[in-house]
Amino acid sequence: QINPLTALTFNSNNWNVPQPVIITAIDDNIAEGLATEIISHTVTSADAKYNGVNVGTVAVSITDNDAAAAPVVQPLGRMDVRESGGEDVYKLFLTTQPTATVNVAIVTDGQTTANVPYLTFTTDDWNLPQLVRVSAVDDSVMEGFHTSNITFVASSADAKYNGVNVGTVTATITDNDTAAAPVVQPLGRMDLRESGGEDVYKLFLTTQPTATVNVAIVTDGQTTANVPYVTFTPSDWNLPQLVRVSAVDDNVVEGTHTSNISFVASSVDGVYQGLPISGITVNIADNDNVGLVESLPTPGSRMGTAADDKIVGSAGDDVINARGGNNALDGGAGNDVLSGGSGADYITGGAGLDLLFGGQGEDYLDGGNDEDVIFAGMGSDRVFGGNGNDKLFGEQGDDYLFGGAGVDTVTGGLGRDAFAIGNGMGGMTVEMADVITDFVPGEDVFDLIPSLGFGDLSLVQNGGDVVIQNRVTGEFLARVQGVDVASLTQADFV
């Protein structure tokens, strides 16, 4: 505790002259607090009377100048991190030499992460600063600029360092989340017919809410939705919810007209309460220029008019050509040939092996049961195979194609097409999956029918094709011909 002392020498000439003893403390790096050092003396001499004489001891009080601490050094005096990426750093060291290893645990609050869970200082490296790298947690909650507190817990067999207060580091975090409720239209447009059919869109939230969010669907009397509102919770906020829309079949001659659908968001989460959501404009084909209205009692053929016809086939094999107008054709049972002609037509094959032609206009074609062949023609068409192993051809225009149950072969043709795939529409072998013949990455899209999400998919190259499989259930959903799996990204799925 004190520096070495020099021995004193007395002889017959100076025995009675006092000699000073200068005492200095060792300036170490150990936190000891107030200490006491005892100085003892040993006398040696050829004079038997002095040799080994008892001199006594001197008690020296030593005031320490060391304090145990673990300073945090921030190079800029502050910490700034971003959810979008990057990091910031700080350093820790000990101010005094410990008598045992010191561990300093790093405790974050869920907003930041450190590259190490703790730091260890030994009696040898206690004064060497150790670097900690901090990054922000990229969550999905809209928080704006916010902070994160990083605390520390010191533990050691050295009582001076066990539980020593290290302090707190506060990091400022730049958020990268913006609350919104995008409306996803697979074809980027909506087309309906008063004569029948529907169109779809999806809604989801871009950030995780802190409470349930209800989005009310407000129509203007021209359309109806299958649900009055959709609900998102903090656990399913990013799962798109499907809304089906159909046109109101009124008796007013309006021609081609539009309908506006708007949305109202409500939540105790202030970020989403009243959040503006872009509305949808729907194109509607009227059917009130009434032409031929007939149900065929027996199998036969019919030629429609230039007006809006409504023709229902018999239980047998029918051939119906509606010609012009916005028509509604129902083949009924039997193997039928149905042609919509020009105009926006609603055509359903019903039971049997049917052949459907949409012709010009924005048509809705549904094969119904059994194995059907559908040619959508020109226009932005909605094409549904129904049950059975169907062949669907979108031909020209931006078409929506959904094979349905069975092993279907789907060809989009020209335009930006949406190929729908969903759970339960494939099978447990690749031969049971739908075949998509002409998907163009970056132009066409896959429409994932809820509750199927992109995270559920496995995309595997199989020769010249890509096999899309539900990686959770193992169901084979689609075989996409002539596509390299490397060319597909999440942007190709809506």
CB atoms within 10 A of CB 205: 28
CA geometry: angle 308, 314, 317, nearest 5 deg: 105
Could you tell me which of 395, 366, 384 has the C-alpha nearest to residue 420?
384
Tokens representing 75 are: 């190079």
- The DSSP bridge pattern shows strands 346-348 and 328-330 to be parallel
Three-class SS state of 456? helix
pLDDT at 67: 80
Among candidate residues 155, 128, 124, 159, the one with its CA nearest the CA of residue 32: 159
Q: Which pTM was predicted?
A: 0.78
Spatial neighbors of 220 by CB under 8 A, at least 6 apart, are: 259, 260, 261
User: Phi-psi category of 209—alpha, beta or left, where left has phi over 0 and alpha has psi -120 to 50?
Assistant: beta
Domains of the chain: 1-66 (no CATH), 72-174 (2.60.40.2030), 183-285 (2.60.40.2030), 290-492 (2.150.10)
Strand order in the sheet with 79-82: 79-82, 168-174, 146-156, 102-107, 118-121
Let me know how many helices (H) and strands (E) the chain has, helices first: 0, 40
**SS3 for 430?**
helix
pLDDT digit string (tens) for 256-270? Answer: 999 999 999 999 999
Residue 363 has pLDDT above 80, yes or no: yes
Residue-wise pLDDT for 380-427, tens only, equals 999 999 999 999 999 999 999 999 999 999 999 999 999 999 999 999
- Of 469, 447, 456, 284, residue with least CA distance to 362: 284
- Quick: pLDDT tens for 129-186: 999 999 999 998 988 899 999 999 999 999 999 999 999 999 999 999 999 999 999 9
d(CA 153, CA 108): 11
H/E stretch holding 215: strand 213-218
SS3 487: helix
Strands (E), 57-117: 58-62, 72-73, 79-82, 88-92, 102-107, 112-114
What count of other Cβ atoms lies within 10 Å of the Cβ of residue 138?
A: 12
CA distance 337 to 375: 11
Helix (H) or strand (E) holding 265: strand 257-267
Q: What is the pLDDT of residues 216-257, one digit of tens each?
A: 999 999 999 999 999 999 999 999 999 999 999 999 999 999
